[in-house]
Amino acid sequence: MSTLLLRSASRLVRCLVAGAAAALALGLVTPTAVAYSGAFDPTQSVGNRGVDVTALQYLLRQHGHATAVDGVFSADTATAVKAFQRAKSLPVNGIVGEKTWGALVVQVREGDKGDAVSALQAELNSKRTLSLGVTGTFDAATKQAVTSFQSHAGIGADGVASPQTWKNLLWHFSYPDFGAGLCDKDPDGNGTANWGTGAAIAQLEAAARSFAETKQGKIPVGDIAFEHGGAIKGHASHRVGLDADIWPIRTDSAQCTAGRITWESPTYDRSATRQLVKAIKAAAPGHVKVVWFNDPVLIKEGLTRPLANHSNHLHVRYCENGHPNASYRC
């Protein structure tokens, strides 16, 4: 190749690189998705609830172990898990961790039918905010949803739900339903930083449904985490989808529309906030590690613990058995 051609080719490459960088900076090109290097199978056990429990129940049925599919990890679900573990020569403890998930997940593709496909569809609906029919039939819409998720996760978009796809999907966070007794507050300007683990979101939603029965207004939710976790402005934690900030309840039940208060404010409703904390713990038995809030009465009652800068909000830390971070291990 002549010197002139080499120079022309070099200029062309430089132009293409510069153009791509400019387009990316302007938001005209979406950066390539990166596989979740920290993805792990979320440990589920008695007291958990949510889409990952729903998927677990469908997968147990796929393997011939009858259980209700209600998204609640009950004693009956634990019995089915133990039967499955026994059949697979796994430690029989009723706790679904990496090895049990690995034995449960089934590779499925377009044309397949069964409970494993229902588990996949339920996961996609929650983790990707879709509305697939949970039919147990791997149709074209399901394949498209799988392919889209794989592109989103950067793991090779072939539309086949492989073990790698399952791991990334199970790990991925869910988004809460703000029509179910919750309202969205954004005091730190972090936008839609309301994503959390499948269990944390379902447990918070269950607490909201319970609290709604008291007719004292909705639960105002601050930050939980970004869609894929990571550092978040204004917080030292809130990186793994298991920390949720909640505003205290007001005497006028206007906590979703009026300004935020502290436990010392004249409009602070201690009785209602006490009910809220109890609802949060009851919705996730054994899976609330701590609730930080500086109301000295609730602290004395053992419902909350003190922490600096937590006089105007409750910080709920959920936990999981076997979580890789000890701070979030039950």
Separation CA 313–CA 311 (nearest Å): 6
Average pLDDT, the chain: 90
Confidence of residue 1 (pLDDT cuts 50, 70, 90): very low
Q: What is the pLDDT of residues 128-178, one digit of tens each?
A: 999 999 999 999 999 999 999 999 999 989 999 999 999 999 999 999 999
Q: Residue 321: how many CB atoms within 10 A of its CB?
A: 18
The whole-number pLDDT of residue 20 equals 36
Q: Per mean pLDDT, which range of 34-43, 64-73, 193-202, 256-265 is the poorest?
A: 34-43
Is 58 in a helix, a strand, or coil? helix
Q: What is the pLDDT of residues 226-238, one digit of tens each?
A: 999 999 999 999 9
What's the one-letter identity of residue 3?
T
For the cut 50, the answer to whether the pLDDT of residue 48 exceeds it is yes
For the chain, give every domain's residue range: 51-171, 182-328
Q: 23 φ, ψ to 5°?
A: -65, -40
Whether the domain at 51-171 and the domain at 182-328 fall into the same CATH topology: no
In percent, how much of the chain has pLDDT > 90?
85
Domain 51-171 falls in which CATH fold? Muramoyl-pentapeptide Carboxypeptidase; domain 1 (1.10.101)
> Smallest Cα–Cα separation from 324: which of 97, 122, 125?
97
3-state helix, strand, coil in the chain (%, to 5): 40, 10, 50
pTM of the entire structure? 0.88
CB-based contact 52:42 (threshold 8 Å): yes
Q: What is the DSSP letter of 241?
A: S
CA dihedral sign of residues 59, 61, 66, 70: positive
Pairing state between β 219-221 and 182-184: parallel
The whole-number pLDDT of residue 259 equals 86
Q: What is the pLDDT of residues 71-86, one digit of tens each?
A: 999 999 999 999 999 9
Mean pLDDT across 210-239? 95
Confidence of residue 36 (pLDDT cuts 50, 70, 90): confident
Residues 278-290 as b/e (b if ≥16 CB within 10 A, e otherwise) read ebbbebbeebbbe
Q: What is the pLDDT of residues 270-288, one digit of tens each?
A: 999 999 999 999 999 999 9
CB-based contact 67:80 (threshold 8 Å): yes
Q: What is the pLDDT of residues 164-199, one digit of tens each?
A: 999 999 999 999 999 879 999 988 899 999 999 999
The whole-number pLDDT of residue 38 equals 80
Separation CA 245–CA 312 (nearest Å): 10
Task: Write down the architecture of domain 182-328 according to CATH.
Answer: 2-Layer Sandwich (3.30)
**Taking each helix axis from N to C terminus, what angle separates 51-62 and 198-212, rounded to the nearest 10 degrees?**
120
Q: Which two tokens stand for residue 303?
A: 């419902």
Confidence of residue 2 (pLDDT cuts 50, 70, 90): very low
The whole-number pLDDT of residue 35 equals 60
For the cut 70, the answer to whether the pLDDT of residue 5 exceeds it is no
Confidence of residue 250 (pLDDT cuts 50, 70, 90): very high
